[in-house]
Each structure stands twice: as structure tokens, then as C-alpha cells.
Amino acid sequence: MPTPDPITDTAPSAGHETALALYKDMVFIRRFLEKVDGLYRQGQIHGPVHLGLGQEAIAVGAASALRPDDYSIGTYRGHAHALARGTSPEAVLRELLGRQGGICGGKGGSMHITSVKDGYYGSYAIVGAHLPVACGLAWASRIKRTEQVTLCFFGDGTVNIGAFHEAVNLAAIWRLPVIFICENNQYMEYTPISTMIPVARPAADRAAAYGLQPILIDGNDVAAVRSCIAEAVVRARKGEGPSLIEADTYRLKGHSALDPAAYRPADEVASWKTKDPLLRQQAVLREAGVSEADLTAFDTDALARIEAMTDSALAAEPPDPGDAWRDVWSDGGWQWRN
């Protein structure tokens, strides 16, 4: 999936072509995730699957502000983040289905999507574990003076993990080129975040503790995400250090594909549905003169591509059992210890 051109200026209003490209990417990811949900329900996908349905604007808007050689890193809810960096959807789907040709050889599954060649340094299932890794990536680019920036995505529940505080503190004192993006989807697993923290904003209210500016954005507005990340990227490339951004959003489904999410009040769900990032961007495009026929065609094209890649993935073989020993790290055992 081609990502839109990186931002060269930080004007808040994206042009018509960019608005269209962002929308197409969001539609594709939405339909892809819905297909994954369906395949899970049919028993075709094994192991837990965490869908980012409703959170597409953050992945797409943020990725569109990056250079191809920048880094990003995320969580088990990471399909959209990999796709938004240009990772092959065929390879992601095969990974989810445990087939040859999967992005990790069909051996990693849903929670470990990684594509180093696309700058996506992995999905992490241990909450908060990847924030210090993001600091390591940023530190490497600082040492190599490459001006690469690292985007690090995580959820609202992550701010109660020690690694969050350690990583943001380190990034702040070393002025690392890393952008921490808290996707506040209002829930950590089955618990509303508001019952788990003593402040109103999980990330923005913590920024001051690390000498950072509190930044709170509408994570369902793709143009707002793009322009905010673009500004943070400019600061990071100039050596002005990290940013901590909280993007407000909502998970349209449960924590994992198994979870019916019955614990959420119906009026809360209904109110967030009206703020769906796809509906928001459709309104922008209609205003810009894009026809209903074109909007429908984007959907139809995305669905046709996804159906074709599903047929081919389902027909593919599972990984060869001999591959179980490939890509397994070995440190040489006792030989270097004494």
C-alpha cells in the first residue's frame, strides 16, 4: 500500500490529493481489519487478535509524516501501523493465517507483525516493553547522525507501566529523536482508563513531569494527526528532543476479537461512532468535491483486493516444519561465558 508523500511543510490543512490518499489508506485498513475479524470468527486465525478498528487515523496520519527510512514501533494492536508504513498486506494476511509468505514466515502471528525493510520495528505483546526499544532506535540514529526519527505507539493503559516512565525520562534527558504517541482508546483491556489513573489525561498530564509540553490531539482526525506528528518530526530532526502526544480515539470493537465488549455503555459507543475517522474524512472529501461514486469505488476496490489476497493466502501452505529452526537466535551458549 503506497503511503502518501512525507510532509514538507507543517500547514494544518492537507491538500486535496493528500486528503484523498489518507482516506484511501484508512478505507483499505478498515476493510482489511474487518476481513481479519471475519476470518477469526471462521476459525481460520489461531491465537489472540487485537484489532485497531476505529483507530486508523492515528496509524495513517502519523506514517504519512515520516521519511521512508524513519522507524516506527508498536503494540500487539499493530496491523494498521505496519500497513501504513507500506508493509505488504498480502504478507500480513498470510502471517495472520499462519502461511508461507507471511511477513514473519507465518511463524509469528498477529501480535508480532514486524517489517524492518519498511521501517516497522515490530509489534510487542508485553505492555510497555517497546518504549525503551524505541529509545534505542532513536539513540542509534543520533549516534549515526542520520536524522532518522522513531515513532512509538502505545495505549493509555501503558502509562501505568514503569517502562513508560523510564523511557520518556531517558528520551527527555538525552533529547532523543523519538515521538511517543499514546493512543487513548479509553480502555485498557476491559477497564475504563478513567478508573485506573488519578489524572484526567493519561499521557498529556504526565508530560510536565519530564519537562515536555502536553500535547493532546483528536486522534480521529487524520489531518490533525498528520500535522501534529509533522511538527514533532521537525523538532526531533533538529535535535530538539522527544515529544509525548496523546491522541484521543475509541476502539470500535472489543479488546481482542474474542471480546464482545458488553461492558461499554451503549450511549458511549453510539457517541464515538459518530466520530468515526472514516466518516470524518468522507465529510472533508465531499466538501472538496469528491463524488459519492468515487467514495464508493475506493471501498469496492479495497474489498476486491482483500478478497483476492485472502483466496491466495488460504490456498498457501503452512510453514515447513523445518523452518521452526530458522531465524532462532543463538548466542553460542557456554562458549563465550567463563
Chain positions contacting ligand TPP, by CB under 6 A = 75, 77, 125-127, 154-158, 185, 187-189, 255
Residue in the block written with cell 492537507? 14
Toward ligand TPP, which CB reaches closer, 101 or 254?
254
- Name the residue with cell 508530560: 207
Q: Which is nearer to ligand TPP, 72 or 185 (CB)?
A: 185
- 155 is an interface residue for Mg ion by CB under 5 A: yes
C-alpha cell at 207: 508530560
- Measure the CA–CA gap between 206 and 198, rounded to whole angstroms: 11
Phi, psi angle pair for 199, to nearest 5°:
-125, 170
- Would you say 43 or 162 has its CB closer to Mg ion? 162
d(CA 114, CA 121): 6
Closest approach of Mg ion to the CB of residue 36, in Å: 19
Number of Cα atoms under 13 Å in the Cβ half of residue 72 = 33
Q: How far is the CB of 180 from ligand TPP (least distance, A)?
A: 12
Question: For ligand TPP, which is the closer residue by CB, 161 or 316?
Answer: 161
248 binds Mg ion (CB under 5 A): no
117 or 273: CB nearest Mg ion: 273
CB neighbours of residue 69 within 10 Å: 11
Question: How wide is the angle at C-alpha 288 spanned by C-alphas 287 and 294, nearest 5°?
Answer: 100
Report d(CA 155, CA 146) in Å as an integer: 28
Q: How far is the CB of 160 from ligand TPP (least distance, A)?
A: 9
CB of 155 to Mg ion, least distance (A): 4
What's the grid cell of residue 24?
Answer: 484511501
156 binds Mg ion (CB under 5 A): yes
Does 141 sit near Mg ion (CB under 5 A)? no
DSSP secondary structure letters along 227-251: HHHHHHHHHHHTT---EEEEEE---
Q: Answer for the pair 23, 298: CB distance below 8 angstroms, yes or no.
A: yes
- For the CB of residue 126, give the shortest distance to Mg ion in the complex, in Å: 15
Residue 114 found at the interface with Mg ion (CB under 5 A): no
Mark 165-204 with x for binding to Mg ion (rule: CB under 5 A) and - for no binding: --------------------x--x----------------
Partner that binds at residue 280, options ligand TPP, Mg ion, none, CB closer than 5 to 8 Å by kind: none
> In the complex, which residues of this chain contact Mg ion (CB under 5 A)?
155-156, 185, 188
